[in-house]
Amino acid sequence: MSSKDTLDHVLVSTWAMLKKGVTRSTDPFHQAVLATGKSNGCGLRTVILRHVDQSERILVCYTDDRSTKISEIEQTGCAGWLFYHPRKMIQVRIHGTASVHTTDAIADHWWSKVRGFTRLSFCTEKAPGTPLSRPSSGISQRLLKDLPKLMTSNAGRDHFAAIVGQVDYIDWLQLRPSGNVRARFQWDNGRLGASWIVP
């Protein structure tokens, strides 16, 4: 058996891939599918992975506080994350509790790290998903007239939210020509259980 075919190696390499996804915008793990529960099924959307804390088992992404995902997380208290690396043919599914931060110190901390064009995402006049008569960013012409100032101002702070996800469960799958392999990692009261499972 290869030294890479150990549960310890899989878990260490998974956290490394997640961390790389934060720091490199071109990395496949920079974008994740975030899943939340809703009354008529589940909500799925692509988000940018903004922060990973392995010691605390935390993942962070940003969103508009008027987004439907906010109420979905507040109702269920959990979220799922899906990552896929096409070159390595590795899929990582993560599940755990999640919290939304809009007006507290945690939100202030993450807002201070939002830069440039990313700030524009929170400057729309109406909530995400609001119908429009024509294609538009939803940002008023008044704000767009002074774009450089807008990108450094706090114009979007009122609609900014940080989603903080706890990693309670990791499902790791690698596609291989000789046969796929899969592992499961689950934390219960801080204690890790790990096992190989059938793909």
C-beta separation of 136 from 124 below 8 A: no
Calculate what percentage of the chain has a pLDDT beyond 70. 98
Encode pLDDT of 9-54 as tens digits.
Answer: 999 999 999 999 999 999 999 999 999 997 778 899 999 999 999 9
**Tokens read off for 122:** 């929170």
Q: How far is CA 89 from CA 58, 66, 106, 180, in A?
A: 24, 35, 35, 10
Q: Is the pTM of this model over 0.75?
A: yes
C-beta separation of 17 from 85 below 8 A: yes
If you average pLDDT over every residue of the chain, what do you get? 93
pLDDT, residue 47, reads 98
pLDDT, residue 38, reads 78
Higher per-residue confidence, 145 vs 128 = 128
Encode pLDDT of 91-115 as tens digits.
Answer: 999 999 999 999 999 999 999 999 8
pLDDT, residue 140, reads 81
**Domain 7-123+139-181 bears CATH identifier 1.10.3720.10:** no
Return the exposure string of 106-116: e unless at least 16 CB atoms fall within 10 Å of the residue's CB, then b: ebeebbeebee
Task: Please tell me the least confidently modeled range out of 14-18, 45-49, 86-90, 123-127.
Answer: 123-127
| Structural domain boundaries in the chain | 7-123+139-181
Q: Which helix (H) or strand (E) holds 163?
A: strand 160-166
Averaged over 170-191, what is the pLDDT?
Answer: 96
pLDDT, residue 66, reads 96
